[in-house]
Chains A and B, each alone.
Chain A
């Protein structure tokens, strides 16, 4: 038995002048929930289609359980797939849809029935077997698609934005459910999404994709707290970006001139005084203080400004602060926090290490 269920080795795919997959390598183990996260056009769906066998890569290899399947057609790969628009067969009942993969494999009838009962039970679809897809709600249709993808015990399940067509409430519910199925079955899931919340909620590891490349492949917490590239820093979570030139560097620290305001940032490797850098800090890592509150004694950033607006978000609120240099920062903090209102003077406080600093490439 191979150590990894899925292995990609230098997979490359071009469509004309667009490189949808640029020399991508990846290993996914049994039991893993792996998310491919990226904006539309980043190549994540193409990669999924290559794994499924719906696209042939220009170069590179795809291995499933150690077997090279690069040139095998989809029906010989033992993968399940769930699509964004469900793609149930409209002329077949729920039961017929779900059992379809087993029928194609020539599984005996009584075994089919047994597996069908299992799948309908797992996805809470009991009693719906005789219905047609258009008699189901969106969430039910998506569960039927999942049942169809899982019934034949595939080596791995591919999911292409499966929750994107559901409304917000249902999506939240399904996120938890999909995660539950995956944990229960230990089948590796490869989950394509442009929705970072989905990726962060469900997955174990995340690959952030942009322009056919992996920007970062890491456990989700690491992707969130330690983005490796400016793209990841900007794409995952809600961040403030501060661009400027370094004035001076000192060991691990550097001083950044951000539109006339001096802030302390972690020193990016290979950066020296005069380098142009982008500094990203997540909104929830900034905090607000009154002008008279004593700040922490540690070296930190403390910028005076004016509160522009408060955007109520439920458990938290976004505070928009306008600084003296005219720039705006968004601070996410507790709602009950300060008894301050619009127009009040405030200080924005944070520790330099809470953010990441990257040299500006090509700028």
Chain B
């Protein structure tokens, strides 16, 4: 009878309220994550013929990827680039995030906005901007040539140029992840470490890094995953010899029209990302993360 009372007062039952609140999130995940992933997975086992997907179950696409040396080269190149970029971003982001958290004071909010500022424009615009600095007619090389110095070859349509571009795009994610982690970090612990005999560097290794490791891992993942799948940056900055796996993948959905192969490449990319996320997460020991009240 209680539910009658509630309905008569125009209120929902707790179950109904729960479902209503869970619905938007569930709908989002199903529509934009699960359905596309499932369709990609299904397509990857089909084949394409003159721009048509034909539901004819086979493993040919995966066989093609893993037996064609060029595809493997692209994949390896993307993986190596992503690793290098992540490590570079890690080393570059820590001091920025640390400075913001430690010395940001009342300018903290402003500083975090400054880090996010590049996101106010579109990704193409940002990459064009980088091109305007590093390219053959860019700021650096034009400047050098003005003084009769030969241009820096490595900045012009190379793997390195592409790597710098990717790092530029995703460093803000890493900075933000580490910064948010440091906001909850008790800097007094460093004084304790110092009194107990630790020099600054040792205190960082013993205290700061382990207590901010989750944030750091999240930052690494946020850089590694998009770096691995990057297609735009290498297309704009990398030149013909730096084509990435993502770039070749996107071609399958464009010019080539080989959707099935593209889907299989997407699945390979997804699997590689998942593997890396899994491996990184393995390094996190929640008991030793500094989060309180966590068992295990």
- Chain A interface residues toward B at CB < 8 A: 52-54, 73-75, 77, 79-81, 83, 85, 87, 89-92, 100-101, 104-105, 132, 134, 148, 152
Which residues of the other chain, A, contact B188 by a CB distance below 8 angstroms?
83, 85, 87
Please state if B192 and A87 are interface contacts (CB–CB under 8 Å): yes
Which residues of the other chain, B, contact A101 by a CB distance below 8 angstroms?
196-197
Please state if A75 and B292 are interface contacts (CB–CB under 8 Å): no
Which residues of the other chain, B, contact A81 by a CB distance below 8 angstroms?
192, 195
CA distance A134 to B189 in the complex (A): 15
Please state if B194 and A87 are interface contacts (CB–CB under 8 Å): no
Select from chain B the residue with minimum beta-carbon distance to A145: B192
Q: Is B153 an interface residue (CB 8 A)?
A: no
CA distance A91 to B292 in the complex (A): 9
Determine the interface band of chain B, counting residues with CB < 8 A from chain A: 20 to 34
Which residues of the other chain, B, contact A83 by a CB distance below 8 angstroms?
188, 192
* Top-6 shortest CB links A-B: A104-B197, A101-B196, A90-B290, A134-B292, A91-B288, A74-B194
CA distance A92 to B207 in the complex (A): 9
CA distance A17 to B193 in the complex (A): 31
Select from chain A the residue with minimum beta-carbon distance to B197: A104
Which residues of the other chain, B, contact A152 by a CB distance below 8 angstroms?
196-197
Please state if B195 and A74 are interface contacts (CB–CB under 8 Å): yes
Please state if A75 and B198 are interface contacts (CB–CB under 8 Å): yes
Please state if B196 and A148 are interface contacts (CB–CB under 8 Å): yes
6 contacts between A and B (CB under 8 A): A83-B188, A83-B192, A87-B188, A90-B211, A100-B193, A100-B196
Which residues of the other chain, B, contact A85 by a CB distance below 8 angstroms?
188
Select from chain A the residue with minimum beta-carbon distance to B202: A104
CA distance A90 to B189 in the complex (A): 10
Interface string of B257-296 (1 = CB under 8 A from A): 0000000000000000000000000000001111011000
Interface centre among B192, B194, B288 (most CB of A within 10 A): B192
The answer, among A80, A90, A92, A105, for a CB contact under 8 Å with B195, is A80
CA distance A79 to B195 in the complex (A): 7
CA distance A134 to B188 in the complex (A): 17
Shortest CB distance A190–B (Å): 13
The answer, among B194, B207, B287, for a CB contact under 8 Å with A75, is B194
Please state if A104 and B196 are interface contacts (CB–CB under 8 Å): yes
Q: Is B210 an interface residue (CB 8 A)?
A: yes
Please state if B211 and A91 are interface contacts (CB–CB under 8 Å): yes
Which residues of the other chain, B, contact A73 by a CB distance below 8 angstroms?
194, 199
Select from chain B the residue with minimum beta-carbon distance to A77: B195
Please state if A75 and B211 are interface contacts (CB–CB under 8 Å): no
CA distance A53 to B195 in the complex (A): 8
Please state if A75 and B189 are interface contacts (CB–CB under 8 Å): no
CA distance A53 to B194 in the complex (A): 9
Please state if B287 and A132 are interface contacts (CB–CB under 8 Å): yes
- Given A87-B188, A89-B207, A75 and B195 contact (CB-CB distance below 8 Å): yes
- Given A75-B199, A90-B211, A134 and B293 contact (CB-CB distance below 8 Å): yes
Please state if A75 and B197 are interface contacts (CB–CB under 8 Å): yes
CA distance A73 to B193 in the complex (A): 12
- Within residues 174 to 204 of chain B, which ones have a CB less than 8 A from any CB in chain A? 186, 188-189, 191-199, 202
Which residues of the other chain, A, contact B290 by a CB distance below 8 angstroms?
90-91
CA distance A132 to B210 in the complex (A): 15
The answer, among A74, A77, A90, for a CB contact under 8 Å with B292, is A90
CA distance A83 to B189 in the complex (A): 10
Please state if A105 and B197 are interface contacts (CB–CB under 8 Å): yes
Select from chain A the residue with minimum beta-carbon distance to B188: A87
Please state if B189 and A89 are interface contacts (CB–CB under 8 Å): yes
CA distance A54 to B195 in the complex (A): 8
Shortest CB distance A62–B (Å): 14
Shortest CB distance B221–A (Å): 21
Which residues of the other chain, A, contact B202 by a CB distance below 8 angstroms?
104
Please state if B186 and A87 are interface contacts (CB–CB under 8 Å): yes
CA distance A79 to B194 in the complex (A): 11
Select from chain B the residue with minimum beta-carbon distance to A106: B197
Which residues of the other chain, A, contact B289 by a CB distance below 8 angstroms?
91
Please state if B189 and A54 are interface contacts (CB–CB under 8 Å): no
